[in-house]
Amino acid sequence: MAGEITETGELYSPYVGLVYMFNLIVGTGALTMPKAFATAGWLVSLVLLVFLGFMSFVTTTFVMEAMAAANAQLRWKRMESHKEEEEDDSSSASDSDILIQDNYERAEKRPILSVQRRGTSNLFEITDRVEMGQMASMFFSKVGVNLFYFCIIIYLYGDLAIYAAAVPFSLMQVTCSASGNDSCGVEADTRYNDTDLCWGPIRRVDAYRIYLAVFTLLLGPFTFFDVQKTKYLQILTSLMRWIAFTIMIVLALVRIGHGQGEGHPPLADLSGVRNLFGVCVYSFMCQHSLPSLITPVSSKRHLTQLVFLDYVLILAFYSLLSFTAIFCFRGDSLLDMYTLNFARCDVVGLAAVRFFLGLFPVFTISTNFPIIAVTLRNNWKTLFHREGGTYPWVVDRVVFPTITLLPPVVVAFCTHDLESLVGITGAYAGTGIQYVIPAFLVYHCRKDTELAFGYGTVNKHRSPFRHTFWVGFVLLWAFSCFFFVTANIVLSETKL
């Protein structure tokens, strides 16, 4: 994500890519969705989930079209210069620095037919992994590039704050109890306050902050180094995630089937829409990682159809998870982190399963935190980088890691309201990444493609939503969301 052309990596089949994309999208946000569903009402939640899934699919096709356009311009640049015969050097910085200006000058001189004779359909093959930052530098102005990195950085800060709060919160919920000797975790009818005692004189909020300090001391140092060779660790966490999701869905269905379902969710409650919107946007987030997912796919002939199938499966999964949750548990008993509802003796009799589900976020999030932190640190470096310049050792190894780690830890220290953290991150930075950036990318890449290759040139990976109306609709929806969420927050605070 740090804005460059990177190695494509080992190729895999389209169906393996479908699985990878499914795993990327279905993450931490899914665990906060059941409570958001219960708060907003099942009908409103279902309609909004389907609509936001559709909007995410639209902007995903926008990003794929921009990736193809970026590949075409890089490939055409190499063909025209006759300086390189292999694609190994496609990651050189000079490609992007002079590309747009060079294309503008050549497009005025070269007839359209000469480009067509070279085979424009092959130009748009997605073979170079052009990251989002690189596409922004190719198609946006300097101001646009800075705004892009600002949006990415804010989103990653939100990600880290969610992770930094989720792990200590899960540990606190599992290990603390009102009586001090209850090993069953969270009770059905008990609503704990932060000031309740956890162990002896130590309050629950104190235990939370102790866990946060330990979490920061153990994982924070990774921010000062590079994280590599995480493939097998990610496979393990993905396996644990799907075991946990499957257990939760099966247990909820069993309880409902035995007539033990306690949930009676309302049809609609507009007061919960704000958080639901942010949670849903956050839960469909994948646009920033599409270059890493799409480029290694060996055959891209039916790429759009496969992505659409992925979104249908994800919608079905989110609906199954959330509906089983809201009909199994009362709305006021659903916790921010859904796994914690299964840390009850009356829900799960087997202690090993209770602790596995209760501590599941601890294992998975702890492996992702260093990766996200290093990504954020690298984006800070890219934002302030100047051509030919280098950072002093103190700035590179101390300042950037510190400004990466400190803000999310401070936010997590102040609050562990995961639903609000996910909602705000999704509603603001998530809206920028999922809607605004892809819309502007596809708009500018279409203009540049037409100027470079001539009017009527067809991008083989163009979005089915090719009319300019869709770009305007996405932007209108994004700005409406900004306004709605902000107005809702202001009104809520005014009532308080």
Q: How far apart are CA 125 and CA 69, in angstroms?
A: 9
Report which of residues 207 and 3 the model is more confident about.
207
- 3-class DSSP state of 199: strand
Least confident among 7-11, 317-321, 349-353, 412-416: 7-11
Mean pLDDT for the stretch of residues 471-481 = 93
Cβ contact 2:375 at 8 Å: yes
Cβ contact 416:165 at 8 Å: yes
Of 325, 143, 318, give the one whose Cα is nearest residue 248: 325
Cβ contact 74:128 at 8 Å: yes
Residue with tokens 């069953």: 184
Q: How far apart are CA 392 and CA 198, in angstroms?
A: 46
Residue 473: is its pLDDT beyond 90?
yes
Q: Name beta bridge partners: 202.
A: 199
Q: Extract the tokens encoding 148.
A: 């892009």
Domain ranges of the chain: 14-77+123-181+192-494
- Report pLDDT for 25: 87
Cβ contact 306:18 at 8 Å: yes
Of 327, 379, 386, give the one whose Cα is nearest residue 132: 379
Element (H, E) at 364: helix 351-384
Q: Extract the tokens encoding 126.
A: 């997605």
Of 485, 47, 35, give the one whose Cα is nearest residue 267: 47
Of 47, 52, 109, 51, give the one whose Cα is nearest residue 80: 109
Q: Extract the tokens encoding 143.
A: 């101001």
Q: How many helices (H) and strands (E) does the chain have?
A: 20, 4
Mean pLDDT for the stretch of residues 250-260 = 91
Q: How far apart are CA 443 and CA 449, in angstroms?
A: 10
Mean pLDDT for the stretch of residues 64-71 = 93
Structure confidence at residue 106 as a pLDDT band (50, 70, 90): very low
Q: Name beta bridge partners: 197.
A: 203
Q: How far apart are CA 242 and CA 238, in angstroms?
A: 6
Of 99, 182, 169, 171, give the one whose Cα is nearest residue 139: 99
Q: How far is CA 228 from the centre of its chain?
A: 20
Q: Extract the tokens encoding 194.
A: 């932060």
CB count within 10 Å of CB 403 equals: 15
Burial degree of 102 (CB within 10 A; 0-12, 13-18, 19+): middle
Structure confidence at residue 493 as a pLDDT band (50, 70, 90): low
Q: Which amino acid is at 404?
A: T
| In CATH, 14-77+123-181+192-494 is 3.30.70.270 | no
Q: How far apart are CA 67 and CA 123, in angstroms?
A: 12
- Report pLDDT for 61: 95
Mean pLDDT of the chain: 82
Q: How far apart are CA 253 and CA 249, in angstroms?
A: 6
Percent of the chain with pLDDT over 70: 84
Q: Extract the tokens encoding 339.
A: 């796994």
CB count within 10 Å of CB 109 equals: 7
Structure confidence at residue 115 as a pLDDT band (50, 70, 90): very low
Mean pLDDT: which of 85-89, 148-152, 333-337 is highest?
Answer: 148-152
| Distances 271 to 36, 326, 373 between C-alpha atoms, Å | 11, 17, 33
Mean pLDDT: which of 114-118, 224-228, 245-249 is highest?
Answer: 245-249
Residue with tokens 């999701």: 245
Residue 136: is its pLDDT beyond 70?
yes
Prediction pTM value = 0.81
Residue with tokens 């070279």: 118
Of 75, 89, 91, 81, give the one whose Cα is nearest residue 125: 75
Residue range 170-198, pLDDT digits in tens? 888 888 854 444 456 555 445 667 788 88
Q: How far apart are CA 265 and CA 329, in angstroms?
A: 9
- Report pLDDT for 190: 56
- 3-class DSSP state of 458: coil
Q: Extract the tokens encoding 312.
A: 């249908």
Of 319, 352, 147, give the one whose Cα is nearest residue 247: 352
- Report pLDDT for 179: 43
- 3-class DSSP state of 286: coil
Q: How far apart are CA 225 and CA 377, in angstroms?
A: 10
